[in-house]
Amino acid sequence: MKKRKAVRRRLIPSGEATIGPFFPPRYVDAGANDLSQLEDRKADGEVIEIAGTVRQEDGTPLDNLVVEIWQADANGIYRHVADPRHREADTKFFGWGRAATDKEGRYAFRTIRPGAPEGRARHVNVMLMFSGLMRILKTTMFFPGEQANEADPVYRAVPKARRKLLVAREEALGRYRFDLKLRGAHETPFFDD
């Protein structure tokens, strides 16, 4: 009997568009930038702060830009079925957060220091949405002083001279600064997935 190969018709992903200037302020829920607790229960691990300023080419800070992050828990586990270890994920840690920049272009998150996921250095996945960004910009924040960075496949995908732009600065114990420049001098490396 002849076996017929199932033809899977593939749909084409919808076109992206800018979030525009009018993303409702109420979509940045109070507390959405605090990943250190879930339903009033403290996540495992060391609480850290990640903050920075987002600027455009001429250095103007960008107001009302939406920043979202996604990260593993303190043991490097993602709260998602595709992570083989997800059953062991910290039930007190959600892993996702959202913030919007203020008039000075500043955003801030309170979270926990992520563990290193399998085959990766510890890192935080970052997404930017803004008026005039026709597509979401995606980047990855790495931690300073981590030997594992040099072996990380995403870090290594970035040309050597630009890698340091993906490494946050530790301003004080547990306080990280990760500035983002969308274009021009010191432009943050962004990924094309």
Partner 1 sequence: MAYVIVPRHERTQPLRIVPGYPQTPWRNPKQPLIRRPPTLSELTGPSEVAKRVKLLGGDIAGHGEAQAIGQLMHLKLRVVDEDGTPVGGTVVEIWQANGAGRYIHPNDDEHAPVDRNFYGAARLLTDERGLLELRTVKPGAYPVPTKDGWWRPPHIHFSIFGKVWLSRLVTQMYFPGEPLNGQDRILNAVPDTAARARLVARLVPPTGDPANALVFEHQIVLRGRKATPSQP
Q: Which residues, in sequence order, are CB contacts of 69 under 8 Å at separation 6+?
A: 35, 50, 96, 97, 109, 111, 124, 125, 126, 127
Shortest CB 111 distance to partner 1, Å: 13
Q: Report how far residue 46's alpha carbon sits from residue 44's, in angstroms, rounded to the nearest whole number.
A: 7
Residue 91 or 171 having the CB closest to partner 1: 91
Cα distance between the two ends of the chain: 41
Shortest CB 63 distance to partner 1, Å: 8
Shortest CB 191 distance to partner 1, Å: 5
Residue 170 or 189 having the CB closest to partner 1: 189
Residue 68 or 90 having the CB closest to partner 1: 68
- Secondary structure of residue 137 in the 3-state scheme: strand
Residue 30 or 173 having the CB closest to partner 1: 30
Residue with tokens 């002083």: 145
Q: Report how far residue 91's alpha carbon sits from residue 71's, in angstroms, rounded to the nearest whole number.
A: 14
| 99 contacts 109 by C-beta, under 8 angstroms | yes
Shortest CB 82 distance to partner 1, Å: 5
Q: Report how far residue 36's alpha carbon sits from residue 111's, in angstroms, rounded to the nearest whole number.
A: 4
Residue 82 or 173 having the CB closest to partner 1: 82
Residue 44 or 70 having the CB closest to partner 1: 70
Residues in the chain: 193
Shortest CB 119 distance to partner 1, Å: 7
Shortest CB 1 distance to partner 1, Å: 18
- What is the widest separation between alpha-carbon atoms in the chain? 70
